[in-house]
């Protein structure tokens, strides 16, 4: 008997494994709604860019932000910024992964955030490129910030972030 609510398993090229101190988080990439952002995440995962990067901004009941190698919230990759890929097809819900950016909608680069809870105020304002499909309990254990704007001192870090198709 099949489960009518079962979701198809994403392909290995559309699956990211993010290893945290408490366990593995599985993220389904969403190339149909954010092809440029997904291509960037794939490229950075293949380069091992995210390995060791901190979750520098973490706000209880809102989100955890990472992907900045400097840990300041102002850093990114050496690649050019990405254009916005806003959608009204998806909403910012618990486990949604979006591109972090400055006030310029076309300034996303490598930083991203994972939602702890729904945030309708972000819908249509930020690029959604993924959804946590496993291990959200490990995201819940990321150290929270107590500094200005949720900045974290001695933050938790991504141990390793890879495409399922590239286990190295």
Higher pLDDT among residues 30 and 3, named by residue = 30
Q: What is the pLDDT of residues 60-103, one digit of tens each?
A: 999 999 999 999 999 999 999 999 999 988 999 999 999 999 99
> Could you give the residue ranges of the DSSP H alpha helices within the chain?
35-46, 136-139
The answer as to whether 19 is a domain residue is yes
Sheet containing 57-59: give its strands across.
57-59, 63-66, 112-115, 96-99, 128-134, 23-29, 15-20, 160-163
- Find, among 111, 130, 112, 136, the residue nearest to 13 by Cα: 130
CATH number of the domain at 19, please.
2.40.100.10
Strand partners, 29: 130
2 confidence band (pLDDT: 50, 70, 90):
very low
Looking at residue 6, its pLDDT comes to 56
Which of 1 and 33 is assigned the larger pLDDT?
33
* Predicted local confidence at residue 168, as pLDDT: 74
Is the residue at 50 inside a domain? yes
pLDDT class of 4 with cuts at 50, 70, 90: low
Distance CA 90, CA 142 (A): 25
Residue span of the structural domain in which 134 resides: 12-163
Q: Report yes or no: 57 and 150 within 8 Å, Cβ to Cβ.
A: yes
pLDDT for the residue numbered 107: 97
pLDDT of residue 148: 82
Total of domains in the chain:
1
Q: Is residue 46 part of a domain?
A: yes
Q: What value does the mean pLDDT take over residues 12-29?
A: 97
Domain contains 6: no
Burial readout 44-60 (b: 16 or more C-beta within 10 A, e: otherwise):
bbeeebbeebbbbbbbe
């Amino acid at each position: 008997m099949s489960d009518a609510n079962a979701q198809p398993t994403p392909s290995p090229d559309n699956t990211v494994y993010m290893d945290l101190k408490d366990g593995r988080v599985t993220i389904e990439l969403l190339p149909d709604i954010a092809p440029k952002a997904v291509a960037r995440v794939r490229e950075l995962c293949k380069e091992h860019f995210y390995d060791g990067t901190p979750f520098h901004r973490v706000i209880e009941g809102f989100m955890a932000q990472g992907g900045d190698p400097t840990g300041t919230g102002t850093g990114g990759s050496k690649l050019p910024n990405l254009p916005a890929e806003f959608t009204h097809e998806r909403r910012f819900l618990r486990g949604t992964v979006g591109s972090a950016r400055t006030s310029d909608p076309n300034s996303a680069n490598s930083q991203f955030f994972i939602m702890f809870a729904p945030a309708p105020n972000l819908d249509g304002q930020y690029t959604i490129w993924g959804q946590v499909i496993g291990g959200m309990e490990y995201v819940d254990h990321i150290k929270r910030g107590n500094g200005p704007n949720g900045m974290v001192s001695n933050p938790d870090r991504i141990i390793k972030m890879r495409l399922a198709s590239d286990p190295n």
